[in-house]
Amino acid sequence: MKTKSKELDVDFIGGQDKPLTKEEQSAITAFIKQLKEKQNKSGKQKSLKSDKELA
């Protein structure tokens, strides 16, 4: 028997009809760049460790 899914009451952040301001766009861009830098740093460290283990 298929279970019925419950409808969720979800709030949206910000207005759907207004575009982002330049400040909001720059804040989001800076945040994403920081995340990518962290991922790149941790990825490089992991690859170095795996190279040493192989040798």
- Give the model's pLDDT for residue 53: 57
- Give the model's pLDDT for residue 14: 62
**pTM (2 decimals)?**
0.47
Split the chain (55 residues) into runs of 10 and give each run's mean pLDDT.
74 72 93 93 62 55
Contacts 24+ apart (CB under 8 A), 27-34: none
The DSSP code sequence of 17-48 is SSPPPHHHHHHHHHHHHHHHHHHHHHHHHHHH
